[in-house]
Amino acid sequence: MRLTQIAAAIGVAALLAGCATPWEVDDVNTIMAASAPTGGTAFTKALFSEYQGAARQEAQVEYEWDHAAIFARKGLRAAAGEVVAPEQLDENWSVPDTRTKELADARARLTGYFGNGSRERVPAASAKAQVNFDCWLEEEAEGDSNSDCRAVFLRTEPELQVRPMAAAMPVTPKIVKTFIVYFDFNKATITKSAHKTLTDVAVAQAEIKPTSIYVAGHTDTVGKGAYNDKLSAKRASAVAAALAKLGVTASVDQKSFGMTKLAVPTPANVKEAKNRRVEIYFEK
């Protein structure tokens, strides 16, 4: 192509682009024709797509090819896998002094989210927030302090925040196995029958491996309440001590209920063998 033809072509492009240079026009045309990149991270791919849309908006809708070129060049760098930074508030953007604080604060929050991993955690939202911040800055330089880009940035910002982890719900242990040993009247001594049951407890503990064991002492209704409270505690202690001798290693919690929780309901001062007991519970 002759030099005059080249000059004519450049002149037409510059005319269409307003104050844009031929090279800026070329960058805009390049990104608008570009396909989605196959390399880079999820963030840089999303950043390319957002800058491509911003460049197209500036060039084809607002006819501001010089600003379109800024977005185009950042998008092309992102397409190459570069993590492009948000725009700075500097001499390139003539923002009124009354508007710089909000923009500076917003940029600081944005880079803070990036530092906390939002680009990896929510790459698409991070890219949208960055490009809309750049667009917001560009609109502020043109005197628009309430642009759509500002609204999109503020709407997207919460997605970048690290949400506190929900407090774990307390896990209520479940009873997975129960044993019962019985006692002679007014006694807290382990009988032969009770010892056999406790041996079974030790074997089951090794197999089941409960996280905790608790033993609960009980009495029948003969005698006064205070006396039976002490007797049920002695029975629980006797069982816990016997289990320890049999090698039960799980934590054993002792409880005693006296005559308040009868296995067999009876009137006062009634001997009932099934009430003179210690219940052993495996929890897991």
Q: Domains along the chain?
A: 3-160 (no CATH), 175-283 (3.30.1330.60)
Inform me whether the pLDDT recorded for 14 exceeds 80.
no
pLDDT on residue 170? 77
* pLDDT (mean) for 17-29: 77
DSSP string, the chain: --HHHHHHHHHHHHHHTTT--HHHHHHHHHHHHPPPPSSS-HHHHHHHHHHHHHHHIIIIIS--HHHHHHHHHHHHHHHTT--PPPPPSSTTS---HHHHHHHHHHHHHHHHHHHTTHHHHSHHHHHHHHHHHHHHHHHHHTT-SS-HHHHHHHHHHHHHS-PPPPPPPPPPP-EEEEEEEE--TT--PPPHHHHHHHHHHHHHHHHH--SEEEEEE---SSS-HHHHHHHHHHHHHHHHHHHHHTT--S-EEEEE-TTSS-SS---TT---GGGSEEEEEEE-
* pLDDT (mean) for 59-69: 91
**Least confident span in 102-106, 158-162, 245-249:** 245-249
Greater confidence (67 vs 170) lies with: 67
